[in-house]
Amino acid sequence: MPARLKFCDSSDSYEDSKYVLFGVPFDSTVSFRPGAKLAPNEVRKASYNMESYSIRKGVNLRNSGIFDMGDIEESHRPEEMLEEVYSVTDKIVSDRKFPIMIGGEHSITVGSLRRIRSKVVFIDAHSDYRDSYMGERFSHACVARRVSEIVGKENVVSLGIRSVSTEELEAGPQTFFTSYEVNSNPERMKSFLKEFCNSKVYLSIDFDGFDPAYAPGVGTPEPFGLNPTILFDVLDAIGDNLVGLDVNEITPLFDNGNTSMLAARIIQEVVSHQETTKK
Ligand SMILES: [Mn+2]
């Protein structure tokens, strides 16, 4: 039997690792294009295209201590999936390691924030602030609302928003920067983030926040998005307060390979960032 596919540069032992990666093959509340549950393994495969060295940070990822736990068991019930995400995140965080979760659709984030309860920076095209969607409160269209209920809406900011319903606007969504604002005046976003990120911050990246030119393989693509280099501004602002990462909403069924590649590289750059800030 072939060995299980692992993210590149994964170390052999959980005990010796600092960064613990796991996949959540869940896309049961998806509203448009399916396939996000296939993303964890595609991101793992894509990671083998990358060098182990981050020239940006001067970090050799081979020595960083990444451990790939594999995927949580597939479930079609959001509440069941969230409990599983919670318990895996609980183990990783309790062991003082850094969790990296590969979705799956965006609803997975609620599970990790139930444990981590920090400030949250979302990159997303959608405000995800519906109270429920198609009868489901744990839909991927409600994730910012559920997370705001856990950590307080003053502790949530979304970057890259360009798709919002009047219902969401009337509910008074969390602080957000539209993609138009970010693209035309990045300095305003950067100075906001520098103040916002003054305590522990979790980063949740819905890949539809990026422009479809960079990330075509997503569940609900939206034109006029962000350039992925926004990530570096976000990491600079967060500094040594980053406590967890998830990447979500990637669907290999609609990808040309570039979206999974971007996800793999983002994971590597986040680890490299942590390696140069966290002591
Ligand atoms: Mn989205």
- 242: pLDDT strictly greater than 90: yes
**Does some domain include residue 160?**
yes
- 279: pLDDT strictly greater than 60: no
Give residue 246's pLDDT. Answer: 98
**Does some domain include residue 83?**
yes
**Does some domain include residue 1?**
no
Quote the ligand 1 centre to 79 CA distance (angstroms).
20
Give residue 11's pLDDT. Answer: 85
SS3 sequence, the chain?
Answer: CCCCCCCCCECCCCCCCCEEEEEECCCCCCCCCCCHHHHHHHHHHHHCCCCCEECCCCEEHHHCCEEEEEECCCCCCHHHHHHHHHHHHHHHHHCCCEEEEEECCHHHHHHHHHHHCCEEEEECCECCCCCCECCECCCHHHHHHHHHHHHCHHHEEEEEECECCHHHHHCCCCEEEEHHHHHHCHHHHHHHHHHHCCCCEEEEEEHHHECCCCCCCECCCCCCCECCCHHHHHHHHHHHHEEEEEEECECHHHCCCHHHHHHHHHHHHHHHHHHHHCC
Give residue 170's pLDDT. Answer: 85
Give residue 257's pLDDT. Answer: 96
Quote the ligand 1 centre to 132 CA distance (angstroms).
15
- 224: pLDDT strictly greater than 70: yes
Instruction: List Cβ neighbours of 19 (8 Å cut-off, separation of 6 or more).
Output: 64, 65, 66, 67, 97, 98, 100, 271, 274
**Does some domain include residue 5?**
no
Q: Spell out a b/e string for 223-244, using b for 16 or more CB atoms within 10 Å of the CB, else e.
A: eebbebebbebbbebbeebbbb
Q: Where residue 2 falls among pLDDT bands split at 50, 70, 90?
A: low
Round the average pLDDT of the chain to a whole number and report it: 94
- 3: pLDDT strictly greater than 80: no
**Does some domain include residue 9?**
no
- Mean per-residue pLDDT for 16-44? 94
Quote the ligand 1 centre to 144 CA distance (angstroms).
10
Give residue 12's pLDDT. Answer: 79
Quote the ligand 1 centre to 140 CA distance (angstroms).
8
Q: How many CB atoms lie within 10 A of CB 102?
A: 29
- 236: pLDDT strictly greater than 80: yes
For residue 13 the two structure tokens come to 């032992």
What is the span of the domain harbouring residue 266? 19-277
- Mean per-residue pLDDT for 21-39? 92
Quote the ligand 1 centre to 17 CA distance (angstroms).
31
Quote the ligand 1 centre to 208 CA distance (angstroms).
5
Quote the ligand 1 centre to 1 CA distance (angstroms).
37
Strands 242-248 and 66-71 come out as unpaired
- Counted domains in the chain: 1
- 239: pLDDT strictly greater than 80: yes
Q: Tokens 């979302």 sit at which residue? A: 122
Quote the ligand 1 centre to 46 CA distance (angstroms).
22
Quote the ligand 1 centre to 163 CA distance (angstroms).
8
Give residue 46's pLDDT. Answer: 97
Instruction: Kindly report, residue by residue over 75-97, the tens digit of the pLDDT.
Output: 889 999 999 999 999 999 999 99
Quote the ligand 1 centre to 279 CA distance (angstroms).
33
Give residue 4's pLDDT. Answer: 86
- Mean per-residue pLDDT for 62-74? 95
- Mean per-residue pLDDT for 245-266? 98
Instruction: Kindly report, residue by residue over 107-126, the tens digit of the pLDDT.
Output: 999 999 999 999 999 999 99
Note the pTM of the prediction, 2 decimals.
Answer: 0.96
> At 131, which CATH number?
3.40.800.10
Give residue 173's pLDDT. Answer: 66
Q: How many CB atoms lie within 10 A of CB 257?
A: 14
Give residue 32's pLDDT. Answer: 83
Give residue 157's pLDDT. Answer: 97
**Does some domain include residue 164?**
yes
Give residue 208's pLDDT. Answer: 98
